[in-house]
Amino acid sequence: MTKPAPPKPTPSELEMLRLLWQSGPATAKQVHQAAMQARPDMNYATVLRLLQVMHTKGLLTRDESQRAHVYAPAQEQDSLQTNLLKELIQKAFSGSGKALVLAALRGGHVSKKEREEIQALLDQEK
Q: How far is CA 16 from CA 49, 99, 113, in A?
A: 11, 30, 27
Q: What is the DSSP string of the chain?
A: -PPPPPPPPPHHHHHHHHHHHHH-SEEHHHHHHHHHHH-TT--HHHHHHHHHHHHHHTSEEEE-SSSS-EEEESS-HHHHHHHHHHHHHHHHHTT-HHHHHHHHHHTT-S-HHHHHHHHHHHHHH-
Confidence of residue 126 (pLDDT cuts 50, 70, 90): confident
Looking at residue 62, what is its pLDDT? Answer: 96
Question: In this predicted model, what pLDDT tens digit does every residue of 21-78 receive, in sequence order?
Answer: 999 999 999 999 999 998 999 999 999 999 999 999 999 999 999 889 999 999 999 9
8 Å CB contact between 48 and 28: yes
Question: In this predicted model, what pLDDT tens digit does every residue of 85-110 receive, in sequence order?
Answer: 999 999 999 999 899 888 888 888 88
Looking at residue 38, what is its pLDDT? Answer: 87
Which amino acid appears at position 26 of this protein?
A
Instruction: Tell me the C-alpha distance between 78 and 48, whole Å.
Output: 25
The pTM assigned to this predicted structure is 0.79
